[in-house]
Amino acid sequence: MNDVTSGPELIKQYAQTLPNKPGVYRMFAKDGRLLYVGKAKSLVKRVMSYSRIGSQSNRIVNMILQTHSMEFVTTQSESEALLLEANLIKRLQPKYNILLRDDKSFPYILIKRDHEAAQIVKHRGARKPKGEYFGPFAAAGAVNRTISILQRAFLLRTCTDSYYNARSRPCLLYQIKRCAAPCTGEISLDDYEKLVGQAGDFLKGKSNDIRREIQVNMNKASEDMEYELAAFYRDRMAALTMIQSDDKVNPTTIVEGDIFALFMQGGQVAIQVFFIRAGQNWGNRCYYPKIDKGHEAEDILESFIAQFYDNKPCPKQLIVSHELPEAELMSEALGSRIGHKVEIICPQRGDKMNMMRQALRNAEEALGRKLAETSSQRKLLSQVGEKFGMVDMPERIEIYDNSHISGAHAIGAMVCAGVDGFLKSQYRKFNIKSDIVAGDDYGMMREVLTRRFKRMLAEENDPTKQSIIPQKPDIVFVDGGKGQLSVAVEVFAELNIDDIILIGIAKGPERNAGRETFYLPDGTNFMLPHNDPVLYYMQRMRDEAHRFAIGTHRAKRSKALVKSPLDDISNIGASRKKALLLHFGSAKAVSGASAKNIALVDGISVKLAEHIYDHFHES
């Protein structure tokens, strides 16, 4: 690499030292920005292909010409390289790759098995609690509705263990026939376990067996003239019917699988994903991956699926709208991760094709709505740029607000918006760390802006770092008048930032919406006509910042209200906290007890008692 700094010749020099092995390569620009992540069955052959630009697309040619350096990782197999590539693309967000932008975790239904009476709950995140997991569901609302119906059908408890243990008589859920009340012995634990087993079987797709059993019990109760019991079984049957009748796509031929339907239009892509589990449709979600011109639908779908399952379990079947270029490799890679065979199907006829057509219609309609919203949003952002003297349309707007009560539980909040509307996944909260005088809004704003933009500059100087707040804003609004704006101006001057527009936004003297005043760094201010669309847009952004800041502040305050002084003592776990509280009655009584009395508590040694006493009597 002595005399060639970029482009095809540089890539050719790298290729001469590479092995004929599978692996992953990364291409970097001169400033350190990651341009592309790719995988190869043979690193030397794939990288060498980039040294010949004659047959490449314009997108690839631009990428090659910008390449200033490369990095490589060899792997044991091509399938391992595929999984590593997907992980790196998701984590590092390269410029020229297809990017899965919305990657929220999915909610599951969990039947917890760490108690004598199993509990049914919604679960999101790592699978640490012991029990059976069913999902994924497309949205939390779908989980909540399903759990509500399962309560009617199987009478499972949803209460916490502490609430369960404290009951002396059945709660309201028992009275309205939503729980069997094992907590007070209204049902034996053995009979309750049968209900739990039935619920698990139903969620596994064994609904017909359960229906037949309930039907038999209902008929028998009716013959014995036990009409209340017969009505109870009738209601359970109706609840099961309700779960299965809410399918937008009828999964008659799929027991466990995901449907991926891709639709392209106007340089944009929508991928509709339907989740089929236990022969039931458990919801759908639409994604809009970021792509560059020149990507083919098959390549987009393949890259999307690889990233999609990077942190999610994969079902046994994937039904796709386009033939994947490397379907066999994808199947092998996903199967090796989860330990069972994954079948990838591109249907051409039959029930699966009918389901795919319906999924494609959903994708087409979703993309149509998205394009209409984006067009409207672009027009609005163009007007924002004109009002505030910008040459180009702002791609990203950020607005900052603070929330506290007399300085307590102080929170700073950042809300951002762009051509896709409010970018909620990029909202950020800032716990105020410095010792700020109660009510010092200026000090809070200084800390928030300093932390946000110091981090931004650090990432610009070292682009290999994973970005927490990904983009630089074009325009920043601070909620407040001249004082708040002057703080922002000082922070930007200290950090040598001069390419971001700063605006202060404040309500009028009557605090009336519609009378907002906009303050500029040069000391001038102005108001917009009360019917101006830009004014409505800025009101929405300011209100969203208020909502986010106040909601975050309330959550922090609520958490502080239930926090115990014992939580701050090191080497004291949940069981010892419980023992101390049972012995003394309250945390306050523990703080006033002598070390000798603390040592009388079961599980508390003399040394630990002295440690607890010292914690409350440091002076």
Predicted confidence at residue 438, as pLDDT, reads 58
- Tell me the pLDDT band of 619, cut-offs 50, 70 and 90: very low
Kindly compute the dihedral angle of the four CA atoms of residues 60, 61, 67, 71, in this order, to the nearest 10 degrees. 40
Angle at 462 between CA 458 and CA 464, to 5 degrees: 130
In sequence order, the β-bridge partners of residue 301 are: none
Give me the phi and psi of 427, to 5 degrees please.
-60, 150
Cα separation, 203 vs 64, whole angstroms: 51
Q: What average pLDDT does the segment 152-171 reach?
A: 86
pLDDT of residue 37: 92
Give the sign of the dihedral formed by CA 204, CA 207, CA 212, CA 214.
positive
Query: Per residue in 506-554, pLDDT tens?
Result: 876 555 555 788 889 888 888 888 778 888 888 888 888 888 888 776 7
Give residues with Cβ within 8 angstroms of 413, minimum separation 6: 400, 401, 402, 403, 427, 428, 429, 430, 545, 548, 549, 552
The percentage of the chain sitting over the pLDDT mark of 90, rounded to a whole number, equals: 10
The predicted model scores a pTM of 0.66
Q: What's the count of helices (H) and strands (E) in the chain, helices before strands?
A: 20, 19
- 3-state SS assignment for residue 596: helix
73 three-state secondary structure: strand
**Cα 617 to Cα 354: distance, rounded to the nearest angstrom:** 73
Mind listing the pLDDT tens digit for each residue in 92-137? 888 888 887 666 678 888 999 888 899 999 988 777 888 888 877 8
Distance CA 430, CA 407 (A): 14
Which domains does the chain possess? 8-92 (3.40.1440.10), 108-244 (no CATH), 257-368 (3.30.420.340), 396-559 (3.30.420.340), 565-616 (1.10.150.20)
Tell me which of 249 and 221 has the higher pLDDT.
221
Residues in the chain: 619
Q: What backbone phi and psi angles, to 5 degrees, belong to 551?
A: -65, -40
CA distances (Å), origin 356, targets 13, 308, 348, 483: 47, 19, 9, 57
The CA–CA distances, whole Å, from 374 to 104, 149, 273, 293 equal 22, 37, 21, 18
